[in-house]
């Protein structure tokens, strides 16, 4: 018996389908799909969440000095003349950043193998490329989802049967994060 469901697809199609569904599940918190697909998606999603829970606090906070351009009241860069050329004025600022430990960095890279990159478009700019933001789902797993499940040993997702789908009578289910 196989260790996974083939879902009537080739290997590359199946992997793309599972990656897309897992990305949607992590981003939205729930998805509606067929029962067979949900059981396969659940395996991958639970593995990612377990990795995030295991590595959630495995980082160190480091203070770094960064150069930031000085801006005027209108938000434009301040320039001064040096040797006949206009040069931007920079200020040095202390910033606190999180530096991943090696095991957390490895976990982040393993998550990036599975999750697709997602772009978030504000509602006022629907259909336009301006002001789109790339959402880091690995960071969302570490900061939002993992702390929720810190005291839980597995069972991060729930499958709720909805009913038969019109057309092919496949059992539809709601797959959601608990």
Give the model confidence (pLDDT) of 147-170 as tens digits: 999 999 999 999 999 999 999 999
- Report the DSSP beta bridge partners of residue 34: 172
Domain with 82 in it: 59-100
Sequence-distant (≥ 6) Cβ neighbours of residue 107 within 8 angstroms: 51, 52, 54, 55
Predicted local confidence at residue 2, as pLDDT: 76
Q: Is residue 138 part of a domain?
A: yes
Q: What is the pTM of this model?
A: 0.84
Give the domain CATH number at 29: 3.90.1030.10
Using an 8 Å Cβ cutoff, are 17 and 37 in contact? yes
Total structural domains within the chain = 2
pLDDT score, position 163: 96
Question: What pLDDT score was predicted for residue 17?
Answer: 98
Residue 33 · residue 176 · CB < 8 Å: no
Query: Which pLDDT value is given to residue 127?
Result: 74
Please give the average per-residue pLDDT across 18-38, as a whole number. 97
User: Do the beta carbons of residue 176 and residue 157 sit within 8 Å?
Assistant: yes
Q: Give the model's pLDDT for residue 1.
A: 59
Domain boundary at 39, 72, 100, which? 100
pLDDT, one tens digit per residue, over 69-115 is 999 988 899 999 988 899 999 999 999 999 999 999 999 999 999 99
Residue 129: band (very low, low, confident or very high) from pLDDT cuts 50, 70, 90: confident
Q: Is 111 within the bounds of a domain?
A: yes
Pair 21, 33: CB distance under 8 Å: yes
Let me know whether 112 and 156 are in one domain: yes
- Asked if residue 172 and residue 92 are part of one domain, the reply reads no
In a domain, residue 1? The reply is: no
Mind listing the pLDDT tens digit for each residue in 33-68? 999 999 999 999 999 999 999 999 999 999 999 999
Alpha-carbon span 45 to 51, nearest angstrom: 10
* pLDDT surpassing 70 at residue 15: yes
């Amino acid at each position: 018996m196989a260790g996974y469901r083939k879902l009537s697809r080739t290997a590359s199609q199946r992997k793309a389908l599972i990656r897309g569904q897992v990305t949607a599940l992590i981003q939205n918190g729930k998805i509606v799909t067929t029962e067979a697909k949900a059981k396969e998606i659940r395996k991958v999603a639970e593995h990612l969440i377990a990795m995030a829970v295991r590595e959630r606090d495995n980082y160190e906070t480091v203070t770094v000095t960064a150069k930031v351009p000085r801006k005027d009241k209108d938000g434009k860069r301040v320039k001064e003349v040096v040797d006949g050329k206009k040069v931007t004025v920079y200020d040095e600022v202390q910033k606190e950043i999180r530096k991943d430990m090696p095991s957390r960095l490895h976990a982040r890279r393993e998550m990036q193998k599975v999750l697709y990159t997602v772009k978030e478009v504000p509602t006022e700019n629907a259909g336009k490329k301006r002001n789109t933001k790339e959402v880091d789902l690995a960071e969302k797993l570490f900061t939002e989802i993992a702390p929720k499940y810190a005291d839980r040993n597995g069972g991060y997702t729930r499958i709720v049967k909805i009913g038969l789908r019109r057309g092919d009578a496949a059992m539809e289910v709601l797959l959601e994060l608990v």
